[in-house]
Amino acid sequence: MSDKLSVNFAGVDLKNPIIPASGAFGYGREYENFYPLSTLGGISVKGTTGTKRNGNLPPRIAETPSGMLNSVGLQNPGIDHFIKIELPNLKTKDTVIIANIAGSTADEYREIAEKLENTDVDMIEVNISCPNVKAGGAAFGVTCEGAASITKIVRSVTKKPVMMKLSPNVTNIAEIAKAVEAEGADAVSLINTLLGMKIDIKTRRPILHNNVGGLSGPAVFPIAVRMVWQVSNAVKIPVCGMGGISRWQDVVEMMMAGAQVVQIGAALFSDPFAPVKIIEGLENYVSENHLNNLQDIVGTVIPW
């Protein structure tokens, strides 16, 4: 593999820009049964909260045209388990580790970020956009004040690069991005899932027990590209793009819109090898187009 896919993202060196998205990849253990995790640029691990959470009642998933809804509700074993059990394992995998954190309160975010400060995680992704929990989560991410306040708190307790994960369920995502940039975020990642609903017309019941859930998959890709483009035009900090990427061509498109790196989520469910195939596709793209580095295409869309 060449280093033509390598990238320095918010001060962190990744061998390529492909990162499995938080929630789709657990802590990596399952996918290691398919391929070595060192193939990947990084891993954004399952959203981790201050203490263990059981998550929402099932069903937690519903298929939709070109996509899916989920309402897992942040089931996870808690930050102490992550640091003690999962992180030491991940550390041996030769890939960048992005800890994804979520809380019900500002204090919970601070507590988790403090606990991560003296660990081996390379970056903290702050989830202020989970649509599936009653408290916290998206409530912070849908206003500039809320997003800024969580950024400020996390920033105040960590020197690690902080990436704020933004919600698309807002009027103007660029304004939220500017608000978190102003409070010292090192990067933004977008988009989290779009709030959706699916009803079983025979039973008149929503498929999801939570009634509503987050939409992801190819259906949301054009929205994600649009939002990445708007945000990268509005802020100076780098952008991690995600939402419906399933092929290398989608990555090229997302990077032209302004993303330096990308995350892959729902595509893993169709094809567990999606990240590996995408990396191979990007290698070919770089060599066929005689690029020195894939980063040369970032933000090169030529708008009308």
| Residue of 18, 83, 130, 239 marked active site | 130
Q: Could you tell me which of 242, 261, 290 has the C-alpha nearest to residue 4?
A: 290
**Shortest Å, Cβ 244 to another protein:** 10
Query: To 5 degrees, how large is the angle CA 226–CA 296–CA 192?
Result: 30
Judged by beta carbon, residue 21 or residue 170, the one nearer another protein is 21
Total number of residues that touch another protein (CB under 8 A): 37
Task: Identify the residue among 106, 143, 256, 273 touching another protein (CB under 8 A).
Answer: 273
**Residue 171 has which token pair?**
């009027």
**Shortest Å, Cβ 219 to another protein:** 8
Q: Which residues contact 302 (CB under 8 A, 6 or more apart)?
A: none
**Which region, judged by CB under 8 A, interacts with another protein, from 111-119, 151-159, 170-178, 267-275?**
267-275
Is 26 a residue that touches another protein (CB under 8 A)?
yes
The DSSP 8-state label assigned to residue 92 in this structure reads T
Is 42 a residue that touches another protein (CB under 8 A)?
no
With DSSP H G I counted as helix, E B as strand and the rest as coil, what are the percentages for the chain, rounded to 5?
A: 35, 20, 45
**Which region, judged by CB under 8 A, interacts with another protein, from 63-71, 108-116, 143-151, 165-173?**
63-71
Judged by beta carbon, residue 153 or residue 219, the one nearer another protein is 219
**Which region, judged by CB under 8 A, interacts with another protein, from 3-11, 55-63, 109-117, 121-129?**
55-63
Q: Could you tell me which of 199, 67, 183 has the C-alpha nearest to residue 126?
A: 183
Known catalytic membership, residue 240: no
Residues in contact with another protein, shown as a per-residue x/- string from 214 to 233 under the rule CB under 8 A: ---xx---------------
How far, in Å, CA of 244 to CA of 87, rounded? 27
Q: Which residues contact 172 (CB under 8 A, 6 or more apart)?
A: none
Task: Identify the residue among 172, 211, 270, 289 touching another protein (CB under 8 A).
Answer: 270
How many residues are listed for the chain in this entry? 304
